[in-house]
């Protein structure tokens, strides 16, 4: 088995165990934002890794689940028992695909349009019942490449041409202030302190001024170098950038599926 795939499967098994527990806790504590954020990050990681490993079916299911969890995290949609039930059904489907992937080292064919439709219905604010589990979750008819494009939800927005660049420009404008770092306050020149000391004591050392100036310039250079290496980035901006990158990978894989 490919080493990357093996590591991915091992990590997914651990993450799915965590997700089972955390989703049960979420039903009991629907307003726990920290818990919602943790669940979202795990599903987001699974989806992103699927894009790099070329697992489009698994990626589509994880992406549809991530969209719903993203609405929970942003407070745009309440956490309801029926919504959590559909998310759990999606996790069951992901487990079935992972089991088949571990046995054959190849992603199984199958039709997940019913499940994705349920997730999209929850995303739209409706109540949905989880689809009945098939006898062989890894089987079914082959995936229609075009179905991934039509069935995917990108948080209610479609990525048109140049849309990613526009979104990046808007984020750069909205979050411009956190990147502006104040110029370091110039340290008081050692030469000035030496001058004041000379006035108080009446002594005039020949090299005091030149030495103080050299030390002051060295201090300024060091401070400027440290400042140039520091960049403060808001966490929400990083998450948005990660989401955009995942969307790009997903769109690329969908286009490849269409031309094959």
Enumerate domains of the chain plus CATH numbers. Answer: 3-156 (1.20.120.160), 182-228 (no CATH)
Q: Which residue has the tokens 């140049």?
A: 162
pLDDT greater than 70 at residue 159: no
Helix, strand, coil tally for the chain in percent (to 5): 70, 0, 30
What's the length of the chain?
260
46-56 burial code (b ≥16 CB/10 A, e <16): bbbbbbebebb
- Under the banding of pLDDT at 50, 70 and 90, the label for residue 255 is confident
Q: Report the C-alpha gap between 94 and 156 in whole angstroms.
A: 23
What H or E segment, with its residue span, contains residue 177? helix 176-179
Q: Which residue has the tokens 């990108």?
A: 154
Residue 199 backbone zone (phi > 0: left; psi -120 to 50: alpha; other: beta): alpha
- The answer to whether the beta carbons of residues 213 and 189 sit under 8 Å apart is yes
Query: Residues 90-131: pLDDT tens digits?
Result: 999 999 999 999 998 889 988 899 999 999 999 887 655 555
Query: Residues 201-253: pLDDT tens digits?
Result: 444 444 544 555 555 555 555 554 445 567 777 877 777 787 777 677 767 76
When mean pLDDT is compared over 66-80, 148-162, 235-249, the highest value belongs to 66-80
Name the residue among 52, 149, 46 with its Cα closest to residue 97: 46
Tell me the whole-structure pTM to 2 decimals.
0.51
What is the per-residue pLDDT for 153? Answer: 42
Q: Report the C-alpha gap between 196 and 212 in whole angstroms.
A: 12
Query: Mean per-residue pLDDT for 44-48?
Result: 91
What is the per-residue pLDDT for 213? Answer: 53
pLDDT greater than 70 at residue 142: no
The two tokens of residue 181 are 């770092």
- The answer to whether the beta carbons of residues 79 and 26 sit under 8 Å apart is yes
Residues of the chain above pLDDT 70, percent: 57
- The answer to whether the beta carbons of residues 179 and 173 sit under 8 Å apart is no
């Amino acid at each position: 088995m490919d080493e990357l795939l093996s590591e991915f499967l091992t990590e997914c098994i651990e993450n799915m165990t965590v997700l089972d527990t955390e989703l049960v806790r979420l039903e009991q504590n629907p307003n726990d934002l920290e818990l919602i954020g943790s669940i979202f990050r795990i599903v987001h990681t699974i989806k992103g890794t699927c894009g790099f490993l070329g697992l489009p079916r698994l990626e589509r299911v994880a992406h549809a689940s991530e969209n719903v969890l993203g609405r929970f995290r942003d407070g745009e949609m309440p956490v309801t028992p029926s919504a959590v039930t559909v998310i759990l059904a999606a996790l069951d489907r992901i487990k079935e695909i992972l089991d088949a992937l571990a046995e054959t080292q190849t992603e199984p064919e199958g039709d997940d349009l019913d499940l994705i439709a349920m997730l999209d219905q929850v995303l739209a604010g409706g109540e949905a019942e989880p689809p009945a589990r098939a006898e062989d979750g890894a089987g079914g008819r082959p995936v229609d490449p075009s179905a991934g494009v039509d069935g995917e939800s990108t948080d209610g927005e479609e990525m048109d041409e140049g849309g990613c660049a526009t979104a990046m420009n808007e984020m750069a404008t909205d979050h411009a202030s956190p990147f502006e770092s104040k110029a370091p306050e110039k340290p008081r020149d050692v030469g000035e302190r030496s001058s004041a000391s000379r006035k108080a004591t009446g002594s005039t050392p020949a090299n005091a001024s030149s030495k103080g100036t050299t030390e002051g310039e060295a201090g300024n250079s060091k401070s400027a170098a440290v400042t140039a290496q520091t960049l403060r980035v808001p966490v929400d901006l990083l998450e948005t950038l990660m989401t955009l990158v995942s969307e790009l990978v997903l769109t690329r894989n969908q286009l490849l599926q269409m031309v094959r």
